[in-house]
Structure 1
Amino acid sequence: MFAALSVENAPEASRPAMRSVAEAWGGAVPDAVARLAASPELLNGFLAMSASFENCTLDPLAREVVIMTVAVRNDCHVCVAIHTGRLRKLGADQDLVTALREGRAPSDERLAAVRTFTLDVLATTGGVADDAVEALLAHGYTERNALEVVLGIGAYTMSTFANRLVRAA
């Protein structure tokens, strides 16, 4: 069930994305991509959304906090592993990485605020109270950033659900 596909046997519409990911990953197609390739719509949709999220105005550590919060909440082990590596490449301190992996608030108040807001958005399906938005804004984030958190949640909810469905490793 949900076999890992290669560039040669994946649907034609998945192949360009697979090649692009392989280039970025040193020639290898990650298992998650190989399994998600069965649906070009999902694979290409996720890659487009995650690229958009990567280009938003949230700083890189804040983006990774959003992603790790979603990944831990949704119990996506492959996402946690990948984004632990990304945090390390960004120079995140071990306390931040450990807190996020354990589902705890980081000691950095600004990053804790984006984590709390992400959890609030998830818990209320976007219907957060005004004071939750104000708490995010009080830590230097903007209304645009609040919407970008929703973008990150959308992209990585798709990813975590799909990765769990296909048993990506």
Structure 2
Amino acid sequence: MIVALGAVPAVPDIPGIDGEKVLGVMEAHEYPERIMGDRIVICGGGMSGCDLALELAMEGKQVAIVEMLDELAKTALLDNRNPLMFRLEDYKVQQFTGTKVLAIEKDGVVVETADGAKKTLPADTVIHAFGMTSVSRLAAEIAEKYPTTAIIGDCVKVGQVDGAVRNGFFAGWSIH
């Protein structure tokens, strides 16, 4: 048996994250009509957040990305990351790296910069893209019941598409 249950969006406990003007990155792609106004703040600067930021900026939105790490899309392949970074600059996407989201309020996103300064980034819509969390508990329960189970994909460790395809290929190949 092969178990590949995937992952679900990570939603940290941030005040206001469940507000009506807040969407998850997957929701934003699935229901673009829910993105209101022109000022968009994307919380999370991995590939998903950066890709969406570029897409929205290309539509004429004023977009800002907030990322806790010191650079955006830090774990992305350079062949994907470098052109994306140039395009984000071309479309004037604001980049707040080394910055922590403290709260999401009616008028925008309250952040704290690396030097401890607090400010509010104005937003009509806030999109959270904090990454994914493995669906590992159910996979472990299945494997406990069926010892020959191969657990693959994001339910083992959240990764990129190339790794998921490779793992799926070898798991399928191993079946006789």
| TM-score after normalising by structure 1 | 0.32
| TM-score after normalising by structure 2 | 0.31
- Work out which of the two has the higher radius of gyration on C-alpha atoms and give 1 or 2: 2
Which protein has the bigger strand share?
2
